Amino acid sequence: MVTLAPAVLLGFCANMSAQNFDVFTPIAKYIRVGDADKLSAWFADNLEVVIISQINDSSRNQARQIMKSFFNAYNPSAFSITHQAGKSNMKYALGILNAGGERFVVTIFVNCRNDSFEIQQLKIERVE
């Protein structure tokens, strides 16, 4: 299966429904395998990362480091998207992440900016 990087998606936002492209498929894959480097390719230049109630307004590089630290502390074993909604230019997804022997709810907000999808917010909270 070919995975499209955000740079390849130029002009994709407007044509997304015609292409049947699910922006969350590659994002979910990188969360599932704990690949912060590939996940960060989807990050906006500045985004909000919330990890277990710690809120960080971060640059792409800072967010990548935050995610690397999280994946190192909580090695992912499974991730699946449980709900998606939104419009063509703004979408969100909810998922369940099993990592480090714990369960987390993951919320991902993506936005279409400059004709490509970008993660604007990534939130990971423990299921209690």
CB contact at 8 A, 96 and 79: yes
What's the pTM?
A: 0.84
Q: Which is it for strands 76-87 and 90-99: parallel, antiparallel or unpaired? A: antiparallel
- Total structural domains within the chain: 1
Give the range of the structural domain holding residue 94, as residue numbers without chain letter.
8-126
> Per DSSP, what are the bridge partners of residue 41?
none
pLDDT tens for each residue of the chain, 128 residues long: 444 444 444 445 655 543 557 899 999 999 999 999 999 999 999 999 999 999 999 999 999 999 999 999 999 999 999 999 988 789 999 999 999 999 999 999 999 877 789 999 999 999 97
CA distances from 21 to 59, 61, 103 (A): 27, 26, 28
Q: Tell me, what CATH number does 77's domain have? A: 3.10.450.50
Whether 3 maps to a domain, the answer reads no
- The enclosing H or E element of 41 equals none
| Coil vs helix vs strand at 28 | helix
